[in-house]
Amino acid sequence: MMHFTRLALLLLIAQPSLASAAQGPSIFCCENAQGHRVCGDVLPQACYGRAYRRVASDGTVIERIAAPMSPEERAEAARLERLQELEQARRRSQMLQDRALLDTYRSLDDIDQREARAVADINKDLHREYKREDELKKNGERLQEEAKLHPPGGLPPDLSLALRDNQSELAAQQTVIDAKLKNIEAVRARFSRDRERFLILTDRPAR
């Protein structure tokens, strides 16, 4: 029994060699620059830098080897590989964002409530800025009335300075108000995107 097992193992080990022997020697073939078939026991010089194949003695193609890429092809392959890497990175980033979004919101109502609170906070600041703007306008009107009491070109230096400061403060205040209004638009846009993505991820119909 042991002798039989040993013989079986020897036959199993010898199988690749037997298969190679049965297949016989192989040759290398390609089409040269003129389109003619060129073959040899070793790779013919005419096949250098070209696609070639290894062929068994019975004509069976054992292996196909592609031609080396040209500089242009290598550049294109590198470009495509870079695009693929960027797309994979984008998908990973989107997956993380989706996970964070689902962890943040429980429902559409939750999104609506968070948006309302965020906008309300900005509106509270905006109300304060509008009030400050009104104060500056009233102060400017008072200064203008005071300036009318003086002849043209005869404004006291302190009054002239106060008028300039008032105009500068009004311009700065308008910038603050514009920024708050844009902030509200940005908040609404962000929650709109979150709401749309939430509907997609939870497969719910739009309201």
Share of the chain above pLDDT 90, in %: 77
Query: Is there a contact between 178 and 82 (Cβ–Cβ < 8 Å)?
Result: no
Residue spans of the domains in the chain: they are: 26-68, 70-104, 107-202
- Please state which of the ranges 2-16, 45-59, 94-108 shows the lowest mean pLDDT: 2-16
Per-residue pLDDT, 133: 97
Per-residue pLDDT, 25: 84
For residue 124, the surrounding DSSP H or E stretch is helix 108-147
pLDDT tens for 58-107 read 889 999 999 998 889 999 999 999 999 999 999 999 999 999 999 999 99
Q: Which burial class, exposed, middle or buried, applies to 198 when counting CB atoms under 10 A from its CB (0-12, 13-18, 19+)? A: buried
Query: Is there a contact between 140 and 170 (Cβ–Cβ < 8 Å)?
Result: yes
pLDDT tens for 102-154 read 999 999 999 999 999 999 999 999 999 999 999 999 999 999 999 999 988 88
Instruction: State yes or no: pLDDT of 22 exceeds 50.
Output: no
Angstrom distance (rounded) from CA 65 to CA 129: 74
